[in-house]
Amino acid sequence: MTNFIKTESGTRPIKCGNLYVGGNNKITVQSMLNTKLSDTDSSIKQIELLELNGCDIIRASIDTEDDAKAINIVKKHTEMPIVADIQFDYRMAIHAIRNGADAIRINPCYIGSETNVESVINECKINNIPIRVGVNSGSVKKEFLEKYNGVNKLSLVESALEQVRIVEKYNYENIAISIKASDVKMTYDANIELSKRTDYPIHLGITESGSDEDGIIKSSMGLGSLLLMGIGDTIRVSLTEDPVREVIIGRKILQYLGLRPYGIEVVSCPTCGRTKVDLINIVRDVKKAIAPIKKDIKIAIMGCAVNGPGEARGADIGIASGNGEALLFKKGEIIKKIKESEIISVLLEEIDKLN
């Protein structure tokens, strides 16, 4: 491994398309198309939705020459970097790079001979694009499983660093690394160990995390705990759902950690016997109404007079409810008293007034 000295920012930056990943740069959110890239109409439609919802980098499976050729087409419809995801066939990597891929995801151990590996790395050198290498818990090499007694943080880290060493052998260090497992604790432990042993940018994710609350909870715990330690330069929330959902959850994780803004943040209480308004439905309807609004503000919708006024004062706009009525706060000041039936319309009016 190349010797390194950890900087204050932790990792060295690399350039992916028009973005820098690592160093002091913003943490980026990725997703992966679930369309065939060669189906350009469907792919462009999905890319536009992903970009609209805050995606920074998009990854696409490149399984055929037609998929590779489609990279040039879809790039005309987005500012996002396109990462070509290659499995096994080194020729697809070369086709993808020559057709404009901004980065490739490939594991050198799995693309055949050293000649194949050298060909891909030379093509990356010519175009100065990064290579993302790494390992999932289901793809650890047998030799590391035997050496470290199964899948664990050490077998994962050593497998990933083997990929890095192969790329470095050809004097190329434009690299990002990813270690993922479906086990949250294993992913956490492995990425902490990895961060101690390299300064390459780290891509975070909990692989095969599932759908709905399972995937969201696993990803939030795994990614959030590492990000709070300063580990992670780019993330993907891997869900068995629409890729747009991955982006929304990923951006919200960064927002709630205070790492990147992402539209309106809603603070609301869990309700109790002191709640005198229909808070659950009020919050639900407000969230539905504000979903398209991109303002980076905080609103509080509180159900009683215990914690309500304090939270409402601390928000850009706040509601502290009483018995069928509420106080409206703006920037810490009480503006007026309103009826329960007016809460939603008044909140939306005040949000519209804020720059």
Tell me the CATH number at 95. Answer: 3.20.20.20
| Mean pLDDT (the chain, rounded) | 92
CA distance 103 to 187: 24
pLDDT of residue 109: 77
Bridge partner list, 178: 134, 203
pLDDT one-digit tens code per residue, 162-204: 999 999 999 999 999 999 999 999 999 999 999 999 999 999 9
Q: Average of pLDDT values for 15-29? A: 96
- In terms of domains, do 138 and 282 share one? no
Please tell me whether residues 250 and 299 are part of one structural domain: no
Q: How confident is the model at residue 9 (pLDDT cuts 50, 70, 90)?
A: low
**What percent of the chain shows pLDDT beyond 90?**
79
Query: Which residues have a Cβ under 8 Å from the Cβ of 340 and sit 6 or more positions away?
Result: 277, 278, 282, 321, 324, 325, 326
Specify the number of domains making up the chain.
2
Q: Which is more confident, 210 or 30?
A: 30
In a domain, 6, yes or no: no
Question: Are residue 174 and residue 69 in the same domain, yes or no?
Answer: yes
- Do 173 and 241 belong to one domain? yes
According to the model, what pLDDT value does residue 5 have? 41
Looking at the structure, tell me whether residues 161 and 273 fall in a common domain. no
Is residue 325 over pLDDT 70? yes
CA dist 344 and 349 (Å) reads 9
